[in-house]
Amino acid sequence: MDLWIILSVAAAAFQTLRFMLQKHLSMGALSAGGATLARFFYSAPFVVTLAVGYLWVSGAVWPGYTPLFWVYAVVGGLSQILATWCVVALFSERNFAVGITFKKTEVVQTALVGLVVLGDRITVWGVGAIMLGLVGVLILSDTPVLEGRWWRRFANRAAFLGLASGAFFAVSAVGYRGATLEIASADPVLRAGLSLAVVTMMQAVALTLWLMWREPGQVGRVIAARRTAVWMGLTGMAGSLCWFTAFTLENAAMVFVVGQVEVIFSLFASVLFFGERITRREGWGIALITLSVIAVVLLR
pLDDT at 145: 46
Percent of the chain with pLDDT over 70: 79
Q: Cα(first)–Cα(last) distance of the chain, in Å? A: 15
- Using 50, 70 and 90 to split pLDDT, how confident is the model at 70? very high
The better pLDDT of the pair 299, 183 is held by: 183
The better pLDDT of the pair 294, 4 is held by: 4
pLDDT at 210: 94
How far apart CA 123 and CA 158 sit, in angstroms, is: 31
pLDDT at 146: 45
For the residues 236-258, what does the mean pLDDT come to? 85
pLDDT tens per residue, range 55-67: 999 888 888 889 9
| Whether residue 293 has pLDDT greater than 50 | yes
The better pLDDT of the pair 111, 224 is held by: 224
| Whether residue 160 has pLDDT greater than 90 | no
The better pLDDT of the pair 249, 153 is held by: 249
The pair phi, psi for residue 27, each rounded to 5°, is: -90, 20
Kindly tell me the burial class for residue 143, based on how many C-beta atoms sit within 10 Å of its own C-beta (0-12, 13-18, 19 or more): middle
pLDDT at 267: 72
pLDDT at 101: 64
For the residues 268-293, what does the mean pLDDT come to? 73
The better pLDDT of the pair 230, 291 is held by: 230
The mean-pLDDT minimum among 66-70, 126-130, 199-203 falls in 126-130
Sequence-ordered list of residues with C-beta below 8 angstroms from that of 271, at least 6 positions apart, any chain? 97, 277, 278
CA atoms 26, 30, 32, 33: torsion sign: negative
How far apart CA 65 and CA 74 sit, in angstroms, is: 14
- Using 50, 70 and 90 to split pLDDT, how confident is the model at 1? low
Q: Which residues of 187-205 are buried (b: 16+ CB within 10 A; e: fewer)?
A: ebbbbbbbbbbbbbbbbbe
| Whether residue 73 has pLDDT greater than 90 | yes
Nearest C-alpha neighbor of 35 from the set 202, 236, 268, 175: 236
Across all residues in the chain, what is the average pLDDT?
Answer: 80
The better pLDDT of the pair 240, 21 is held by: 240
For the residues 45-64, what does the mean pLDDT come to? 90
Nearest C-alpha neighbor of 292 from the set 134, 164, 159: 134
The mean-pLDDT minimum among 24-28, 172-176, 280-284 falls in 24-28
Sequence-ordered list of residues with C-beta below 8 angstroms from that of 204, at least 6 positions apart, any chain? 37, 40, 41, 43, 44
The mean-pLDDT minimum among 16-20, 40-44, 191-195, 247-251 falls in 16-20
pLDDT at 45: 92
| Whether residue 297 has pLDDT greater than 70 | no
**Helix segments in 104-225, DSSP class H:** 106-117, 124-140, 157-181, 188-214, 218-224
Long-range pairs of 50-53 with CB within 8 A, sequence gap ≥ 24: 50/193, 50/197, 50/237, 50/241, 51/193, 51/194, 51/196, 51/197, 52/197
pLDDT tens per residue, range 171-225: 998 999 999 999 988 898 899 999 999 999 999 999 999 999 999 889 999 898 8
For the residues 8-22, what does the mean pLDDT come to? 83
